[in-house]
Amino acid sequence: MEKGIVIDREAKYIGVYIPARNKIFTGIPRKKVLKKTKIYAGDYVLGEILDNENFSIEEIETRKNLLKRPSVANVDNAIIVQAFKMPPFDSLLLDNLLVVYEYFAVEPVIVFNKVDLLNQKEKNQLENIVNIYKDAGYKVHKISALNNEGIEDLTKYLKNSISIVAGQSGVGKSSIVSKLTGKQLETKEVSKKTERGRHTTTGVRLYKFGENSFIADTPGFSKIDALTFMDKREVPKYFREFSRYSCKFPDCMHTVEPDCKVKKAVKNKEISCNRYKNYLKIINADLGLLSGICD
């Protein structure tokens, strides 16, 4: 059987890219496949090439994850885009996105775009922020989609993977996708009216680029509140640097518990005060907890 990846999913149409042929076929799922599951962009499929255009889908490989917005399976990377200015860096949004994508088993990649706008002082300030996230255990790229800085490195980093871009309006998501793939990000509504006047969900496509890399044509979250998806007790494990510490209580929320190693680390400046503050905001804890720790 031949292996392919679903790269186009719109209404009934299933576009399957077969790497061995470097060509897109129309996927025709067997009934037994459809009985088991729907088919999503990002699905790895096995089947037979029927003719020049058609590919019969016999099997769908087990997904490692399935995002809803956009509807893409097997997403390896969430490229979380931020700018230092225009728009200003939103650390609370970034920290929320880091938590949520990790919860969905997607590896977050932080991308600071628009570095061309920064003077030396701002570059230094950005560097401090970058170091906080690198020290916390995240991958960080600094780029300028405008003048191509860092695009090649980012392309290399994303090889052999499926990615989506996320981040608030204006940070440069479309510009980045366009630099990576030569194609535009869709800014379509979640649902659009078809010619018959029915509302249907619009499709999702994956653009191929670089070395066997794919990126969704639809962006992910532009604002998010982690507690929409999970209980607050789950949040601490998605703050990567927190998990290096073993508190007295294994289920420590790092708020009012005695002998909390995370709070101690914040006080010792091993953990960033701003990260800890955002953590408290995300779990809706009392910010009064910061007094005596972050001054």
Ligand X SMILES: Nc1nc2c(ncn2[C@@H]2O[C@H](COP(=O)(O)OP(=O)(O)OP(=O)(O)O)[C@@H](O)[C@H]2O)c(=O)[nH]1
State in angstroms the smallest separation of the CB of 83 from ligand X. Answer: 8
Stretch binding Zn ion (CB under 5 A), from 95-103, 142-150, 198-206, 248-256: 248-256
Nearer to ligand X, 3 or 87 (CB): 87
Give the Cα separation of 171 and 264 in Å (integer). 35
**Least distance between ligand X and beta carbon 144 (Å):** 4
Residue 174's binding partner among ligand X, Zn ion, none (Cβ under 5 to 8 angstroms by kind) is ligand X
Token pair, residue 279, equals: 């953590």
Nearer CB in complex with ligand X: 110/145: 145
User: Closest approach of Cβ 170 to ligand X, in Å?
Assistant: 5
Phi-psi region of 197 (alpha: psi -120 to 50; beta: other; left: phi over 0): left
- Residue number with CB closer to ligand X (116 or 127): 116
145 binds, among ligand X, Zn ion, none (CB under 5 to 8 A by kind): ligand X
To the nearest whole angstrom, how small is the minimum distance from the Cβ of residue 174 to ligand X?
A: 3
Residue 82 touches which member of Zn ion, ligand X, none, C-beta under 5-8 Å by kind: none
User: Does residue 235 touch Zn ion according to CB under 5 A?
Assistant: no
Are residues 42 and 203 in contact, defined by beta-carbon separation less than 8 angstroms?
no
Q: Which residues in this chain contact ligand X in the complex, by CB under 6 A? A: 113-114, 116-117, 144-146, 169-175, 185, 187
Quick one: which of 141, 173, 205, 254 contacts Zn ion (CB under 5 A)? 254
- Among Zn ion, ligand X, none, the one that 181 touches (CB under a kind-dependent 5 to 8 A) is none
- C-alpha to C-alpha distance for 96 and 227, rounded to whole angstroms: 9
Of 56 and 144, the one with the shorter C-beta distance to ligand X is 144
Smallest distance, ligand X to C-beta of residue 222, A: 6
Rounded to the nearest whole angstrom, what is the least distance from the CB of residue 128 to ligand X in the complex? 20
111 binds Zn ion (CB under 5 A): no
CA distance linking residue 123 with residue 155, whole number of Å: 23
CA atoms of 67 and 274, how far apart (whole Å): 29
Q: By CB under 5 A, name the one of 115, 262, 282, 283 that touches Zn ion.
A: 262
Contacting residues toward Zn ion, per CB under 5 A: 247, 252, 254, 260, 262
